[in-house]
Structure 1
Amino acid sequence: MTTATTASTRPKGGGTSAGRPAPAVRLRAGLAHGSPALLALVALAVIVAIAAAIQPGILSVTGLSLMLMSAVPLAFAAQAQMIIMSVGDIDLGIGNLVGLVTVIAATLLATDPLLGFGMLAAVLVVYALLAVIVQKRGVPSIIVTLGMSFVWLGIGLQLLPTPGGATPEWLTAIGSWRSTVVPPPLVFVALAALAGWWITRRTRAGARMRALGSSAATLDKAGWSAARTRMTAYVLAAVLILVSGLLLAAQTRSGDINSASNYTLTTIAAVILGGGTFSGGRALPVGTALGAVTLGLISVLLSLVALPSSMQAGAQGVIVLAVLAGRIVTERFSR
């Protein structure tokens, strides 16, 4: 009788006698909630450490500014992709749209600001219509956004067939901002993460977007419009894409439709590296920002080790796969 009683009252699942989870259980729970962002942070720290060992001057404010500069527009584009993926969709037109924004910034914003800002506003309207097509017509987002990527490319080539142009002074001033206290790129990356966090975590729209990605039926039962929620997600993502393009133009002080052609797949990888999923319902702004910075620094690291340009693309792919494989291992361990 005593044995039975003891067995029946013993905590299950490795818990303690006080009713608290055992250390191993708490460790797995912590990994389940924090491992994606932690993994991206560890990968980022390793890359910076290796780069600093090769070139110690990188650890200065100026060195970090130069090293992180390319990650700034990518961080905003990755937040946009995160929002789209939170509702269960994927945007395959981000790269060409960011390139188009640089073209508009280096041409129309400098010569005809009213028309330039009008075109940027038109992008928001187009994204709202894309959301309606996806929601009402059931067309997969990858088809719709892939088709639009060719539209963005065509418009960009029409406005500026070859790289060039010049950004307006106010935009150039943003790209020229320097500080001796903190690397400016860190400020912009933090702003990108803050924007993504506020949209997805601090607004009702963010809760609805995550609900749409995880369970559309639950969203409908709650009386929320799925179409309006998807439209909101697409428009907010478009705003961040426009910011990404303007910041890229501010850095290069010119326009090039092909300047962000690799952003499409890189932003998806940044979201996944930061803990996101393809199925939707999940938005991790800090992890996504860390993932974007990590991916942005890989190319810098490969340049520092003097790897031939013909091999850099392959090496970058191997590193990304290795980091993503690490995420899979940690997630399995946390279960």
Structure 2
Amino acid sequence: MSTATASFPSTGQRLRAGAVNGSPALLALVALVAIFAITATLQPGILSVPGLTLMLMSSVPLVLAAQAQMIIMSVGDIDLGIGFLVGLVTVIAATLFVDAPLLALASILGIVVAYAVIAYVVQQRGVPSIIITLGMSFVWLGIGLQIRPTPGGATPEWLSVISTWRPTWFPAPVIFIIAATVIGWYVTRRARIGTRMRALGSQAPTLEKAGVSLAATRIAAYVIAAILMVLSGLMLASQTWSGDINAASEYTLMTIAAVILGGGTFAGGRAMPIGTTLGAVTLGLITVLLSLINLPSSLQSAAQGLIVIAVLAGRIITERFVR
């Protein structure tokens, strides 16, 4: 009797947990609205379909990458190779997809398979994810430099069409952002594998006792994340019309910040797809805002970091207050 009681939280505990889980996403929304309001005040022209399209387009690949990082972090891991992997996909898109489409598809498949192997090594051999993904980041960098040492190339026409699609009635980036969020939400909150991934991050022994393969669950998480990273790279390539291994080098830390800003944790067991999207878009808008106020590029990273720290401090205070 006591064991059963200990296994299930009381109604009050569930309500408090829901409040705590929901407050970070709400905080990310408040930060997003505040930064958007300031940006709109400085540049009223963004309050139009073309203006919103230009302002939000760069956030689309970041949102996809952040959803991938969220899935990795939901199982208690961190991927330090996202930035160079997304950059590698842009190189593949701007080089191999034009010159050797079959080789390009094989390369994309190879990336997904590599992530499955990484997940297996992390689970079965106990290698920390931050170590192996950091090492793989140099692998992605080396492959990208071997394929294209300098930025350039040209994306295929079918890929360029994505970034040039401009509906007059609604900002195209919003549609892509919503689609990316829905994918993350369905995988982590509705699909059975999402429940297992969150359980792997918080209650792995219990999941194993239930007869679920921990290795298969981690591999599924990494494979889904890899697919989202590939989509992020393709979307980025469609916007830049070229390939550059360093095109998304800042994504590694930005995706982690987006997940934490949106309510995620380093400990795993939690997936907040909507909050993660809000965090990613907020970080994207911060970059736009800093550019509008003509802040020197040498200070933009520092200012962006201070803003993120301020928002995260607000999250900590809010969670303690709710508890």
Q: Which TM-score bucket, shorter chain as reference?
A: over 0.9
1-structure distance, mates of 2:322, 2:63: 28
Are 1:309 and 2:301 matched, yes or no? no
Report what 1:246 is aligned to. 234
Report what 1:82 is aligned to. 70
Query: Which deviations, in whole Å up to 9, do the C-alpha atoms of 1:8-28 show, x marking residues without a partner?
Result: xxxxxxxxxxxx98xxx9996
Q: Is the 8 A contact 2:258 2:279 kept in 1?
A: yes
Report what 2:271 is aligned to. 283
Query: Which deviations, in whole Å up to 9, do the C-alpha atoms of 1:238-273 show, x marking residues without a partner?
Result: 000000000000000000000000000000000000
**CA-atom RMSD, angstroms?**
1.5
SS at match of 2:144: helix
2-structure distance, mates of 1:226, 1:287: 26
Q: Is the 8 A contact 1:72 1:188 kept in 2?
A: yes
1:54-133 correspondence runs (5 A): 54-133=42-121
Q: Is the 8 A contact 2:21 2:263 kept in 1?
A: no
In our comparison, the structure showing a higher alpha carbon Rg is 1
SS at match of 1:260: coil
Report what 1:176 is aligned to. 164
Give the share of equivalent positions with the same residue, in percent.
Answer: 70
Shift of 1:31: 3.6
Report what 1:155 is aligned to. 143
Shift of 1:323: 0.8
2-structure distance, mates of 1:128, 1:201: 22
Structure 2 unaligned residues grouped into runs of 5+ = 1-10
Report what 1:137 is aligned to. 125
> TM-score scaled to structure 2, two decimals?
0.95
Q: Is the 8 A contact 1:29 1:334 kept in 2?
A: no
Structure 1 unaligned residues grouped into runs of 5+ = 1-19
Q: Is the 8 A contact 2:116 2:222 kept in 1?
A: yes
> TM-score scaled to structure 1, two decimals?
0.91
Report what 1:234 is aligned to. 222
2-structure distance, mates of 1:252, 1:46: 29
Report what 1:319 is aligned to. 307
Query: Which deviations, in whole Å up to 9, do the C-alpha atoms of 1:202-245 show, x marking residues without a partner?
Result: 11111110010011001011100000000000000000000000
The code of the aligned residue for 1:267 comes to: T
Shift of 1:33: 3.5
* Pairing partner for 2:193 from 205, 216, 219: 205
Shift of 1:29: 6.5
Report what 2:257 is aligned to. 269
2-structure distance, mates of 1:200, 1:27: 21
Shift of 1:301: 0.2
Q: Is the 8 A contact 2:96 2:103 kept in 1?
A: yes
Are 1:36 and 2:24 matched, yes or no? yes
Q: Following TM superposition, where does structure 1 have runs of at least 4 consecutive aligned residues deviating by more than 4 angstroms?
A: 25-30
Q: Is the 8 A contact 1:107 1:167 kept in 2?
A: yes
1-structure distance, mates of 2:157, 2:98: 8
The code of the aligned residue for 2:243 comes to: G
1-structure distance, mates of 2:320, 2:149: 49
Q: Is the 8 A contact 1:274 1:289 kept in 2?
A: yes
Q: How many residue pairs align between the two structures?
A: 313
Are 1:218 and 2:218 matched, yes or no? no
Query: Which deviations, in whole Å up to 9, do the C-alpha atoms of 1:37-82 show, x marking residues without a partner?
Result: 1111110000110011111111111111111111100000000000
Q: Is the 8 A contact 2:261 2:275 kept in 1?
A: yes
Give the stretch that moved more between structures: 30-39 or 313-322.
30-39
Report what 1:195 is aligned to. 183
2-structure distance, mates of 1:44, 1:271: 14
User: Structure 1 pair 147/33, CA: closer, same or farther in 2 (3 Å)?
Assistant: closer
The code of the aligned residue for 1:154 comes to: G
2-structure distance, mates of 1:288, 1:26: 22
